[in-house]
């Protein structure tokens, strides 16, 4: 049977992006992004019949974009095909022409620390160094690496040195975070040259489109010690804040973290514990969530993971035992989570802690919270809003869940609104909460006027409080009664 051109469409290699409609190819986001980064676009011609489940009506696509999630999907097998057509240049770097799977990159991860600007103390006796740590959640994945300690030149300190790790790119978890710290050494009689933390900043290594962040970065530091659980937003409160410049440049092409499941063969362990090991497992499972489990305990839980799938209380301990730098183990974790006996709604809250950085784990926890009554949700709403600070991206299953429930129930929406408002003063997280607040207000057509009235009342009370402070009369109740009549 002969085929017509209308029977085919283009698909971007390495992603689930399809070219549909009469729009010129040059106007699609994929093409524009490729041209802007000097990347050669790679397209496959496929039959429409192969993707009959997808809707290609332009109006339906627009509505889908407006009202449901749009997610990018990448297959390792498809990305792996690009590796055959990529050569390294004279510097040993990959050329920027294709998308590659991070699982095909076996070089060791490293980055170059270039300089720090606007240092607070530039005396010759003062020296500085930068530390780098690699984390997954609150778990440290590699040894701390430091630059040499050197003095400032003017208001800057220049290194141009590489900090090398023993982690291959292929071993990096999807939600790897880099934590930088700036330290000052100023030998005195009091501190004996003990390093003093001056600032820090965190960087998620993969962006929300699953791409490895590469190139040169200049980030303004927060005046606080390094903390892997702190924000990944740079300090925007001062134009004179100390800034760190560094570079991730070993790989010039687009490196993608695959999203499609990777097939595992012969990785399933069906062994059962001995009576002594079973007693040890029970002891491990009795430990409180905030209690650390040792590496030996992790290895025991991991070894007998299939034995524990019917115990919902064991899920959090099992997830902690997974070797995060082994992608096969992570895929095994995903597989077993689908079989695991469902955890209770209360136990699911633990899986939203900072220890569990993987969005598939967090999405599972939110799914388990789906049947919470409005009354129970009110009890946990404060904590759930605080957890939003630790989500890897603004758009998350938790934020969608909270906004949806707040829109369905006016009482929940009232509390949610003011909990979001109470976080806008913190510049570290204000951007995220402002985005959520705007989205919630846009959807709250029936309660928007009520929120406006509450805001006006709050402003009036604030105005009265400020006037009372300037009144000579100490009887505040009489002053308040007099001033409230003016409103």
Residue 410 — pLDDT band, cuts 50, 70, 90? very high
Which of 129-133, 262-266, 418-422 has the weakest average pLDDT?
Answer: 262-266
Q: Which two tokens stand for residue 302?
A: 């991991």
pLDDT at 58: 33
pLDDT at 450: 87
Residue 338 — pLDDT band, cuts 50, 70, 90? very high
Q: What percent of the chain has pLDDT over 90?
A: 54
DSSP state of 386: H
Angle, helices 448-470/476-484, rounded to nearest 10 degrees: 130
116 in Cβ contact with 157 (< 8 Å): yes
When the pLDDT of each residue in the chain is averaged and rounded to a whole number, the result is 85
What is the radius of gyration, based on Cα positions, of the chain? 27
CA distance 174 to 366: 19
Backbone angles phi, psi at 111, to 5 degrees: -145, 160
CA distance 39 to 32: 10
129 in Cβ contact with 149 (< 8 Å): yes
Where on the phi/psi map is residue 125: left (φ > 0), alpha (ψ -120 to 50), or beta? alpha
Residue 129 — pLDDT band, cuts 50, 70, 90? very high
345 in Cβ contact with 369 (< 8 Å): yes
- Res. 476: pLDDT tops 80: no
Domain 5-70 has CATH 3.30.210.10: no
pLDDT at 453: 87
The closest of 164, 163, 153 to 127, measured between CA atoms, is 153
Superfamily of domain 99-256: C2 domain (2.60.40.150)
Write the pLDDT tens digit of every residue in 53-108. 444 433 232 223 223 445 678 888 888 887 766 655 555 555 555 689 999 999 99
CA distance 357 to 365: 12
The whole-number average pLDDT for the span 217-224 is 95
pLDDT at 66: 28
204 in Cβ contact with 392 (< 8 Å): yes
pLDDT at 62: 27
pLDDT at 61: 28
229 in Cβ contact with 390 (< 8 Å): yes
Half-sphere exposure for 109 (CA within 13 Å, toward CB): 27
CA distance 416 to 402: 8
CA distance 417 to 214: 37
168 in Cβ contact with 106 (< 8 Å): yes
CA distance 132 to 150: 16
- Res. 412: pLDDT tops 50: yes
Which of 227-241, 294-308, 414-428, 469-483 has the weakest average pLDDT?
Answer: 469-483
Q: Higher pLDDT residue, 370 or 122? A: 370
CA distance 318 to 438: 38
pTM score above 0.85? no
Contacts 24+ apart (CB under 8 A), 2-8: 3/47, 6/48, 7/47, 7/48, 7/49, 8/45, 8/46, 8/47, 8/48
CATH class for the region spanning 261-341: mainly alpha
The whole-number average pLDDT for the span 119-131 is 84
Residue 272 — pLDDT band, cuts 50, 70, 90? confident
CA distance 55 to 399: 27
Residue 60 has a CB neighbour count (10 Å cut-off) of 11
Residue 361 has a CB neighbour count (10 Å cut-off) of 21
CA distance 211 to 213: 6
Is 99-256 in the same CATH topology as 5-70?
A: no
pLDDT at 93: 56
- Res. 445: pLDDT tops 90: no
The whole-number average pLDDT for the span 254-279 is 82
Please report, for the chain, how many H helices and E strands are present, in that order.
15, 15
Identify the H or E element spanning 463: helix 448-470
- Give the start-to-end residue ranges of the domains of the chain: 5-70, 99-256, 261-341, 448-484
Strands (E), 33-188: 43-47, 99-101, 108-117, 127-136, 139-140, 145-146, 150-151, 156-168, 176-185
121 in Cβ contact with 144 (< 8 Å): no
Contacts of 186 (CB under 8 A, 6+ apart): 121, 123, 125, 126, 127, 193, 196
Identify the H or E element spanning 12: strand 8-12
pLDDT at 250: 75
pLDDT at 268: 65
């Amino acid at each position: 049977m002969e085929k017509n051109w209308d029977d085919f469409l283009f698909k971007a290699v390495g992603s689930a992006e399809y070219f549909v409609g009469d729009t010129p190819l040059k106007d699609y986001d994929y093409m524009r992004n490729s041209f802007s980064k000097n990347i050669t676009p790679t397209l496959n011609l496929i039959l429409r019949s192969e993707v009959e489940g997808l809707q290609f009506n332009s109006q339906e696509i627009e509505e889908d974009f407006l009202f449901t999630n749009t997610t990018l999907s990448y297959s390792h097998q498809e990305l792996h095909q690009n590796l055959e057509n990529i050569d390294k240049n004279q510097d040993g770097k990959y050329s920027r022409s294709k998308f590659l799977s991070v699982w095909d990159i076996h070089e060791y991860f490293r980055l170059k620390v270039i300089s720090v600007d606007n240092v607070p103390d530039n005396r010759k006796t003062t020296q500085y160094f930068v530390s780098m740590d690699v984390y997954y959640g609150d778990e440290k994945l590699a040894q701390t690496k430091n630059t040499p300690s050197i003095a400032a030149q003017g208001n800057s300190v220049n290194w141009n040195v590489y900090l090398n790790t023993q982690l291959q790119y292929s071993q990096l978890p999807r939600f790897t975070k880099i934590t930088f710290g700036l330290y000052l050494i100023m030998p005195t009689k009091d501190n004996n040259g003990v390093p003093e933390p001056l600032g820090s900043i965190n960087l998620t290594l993969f962006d929300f489109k699953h791409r490895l962040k590469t190139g040169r970065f200049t980030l303004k530091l927060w005046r606080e010690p390094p903390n892997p659980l702190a924000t990944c937003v740079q300090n925007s409160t001062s134009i004179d804040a100390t800034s760190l410049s560094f570079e991730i440049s070993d790989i010039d092409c687009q490196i993608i973290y695959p999203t499609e499941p990777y097939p595992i063969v012969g990785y399933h362990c069906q062994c059962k514990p001995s009576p002594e090991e079973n007693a040890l497992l029970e002891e491990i499972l009795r430990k409180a969530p905030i209690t650390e489990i040792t590496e030996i305990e992790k290895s025991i839980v991991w070894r007998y993971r299939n034995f524990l799938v019917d115990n919902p209380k064991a899920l959090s301990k099992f997830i902690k035992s997974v070797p995060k730098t082994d992608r096969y183990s992570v895929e095994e974790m995903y597989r077993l989570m689908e079989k695991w006996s469902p955890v209770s709604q209360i136990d699911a809250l633990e899986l939203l802690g900072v220890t569990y950085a993987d969005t598939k784990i967090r999405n599972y926890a939110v799914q388990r919270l789906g049947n919470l009554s409005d009354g129970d949700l009110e009890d946990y709403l404060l904590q759930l809003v605080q957890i939003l600070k630790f989500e890897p991206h603004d758009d998350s299953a938790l934020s969608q869940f909270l906004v949806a429930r707040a829109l369905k129930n006016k009482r929940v929406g009232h509390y949610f609104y003011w909990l979001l408002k109470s976080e806008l003063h913190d510049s570290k997280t204000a951007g995220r909460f402002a985005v959520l607040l705007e989205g919630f207000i846009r959807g709250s057509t029936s309660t928007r006027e009520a929120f406006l009235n509450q805001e006006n009342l709050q402003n009036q009370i604030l105005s009265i409080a400020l006037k009372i402070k300037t009144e000579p009369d100490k009887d505040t109740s009489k002053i308040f009664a007099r001033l409230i009549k003016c409103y």
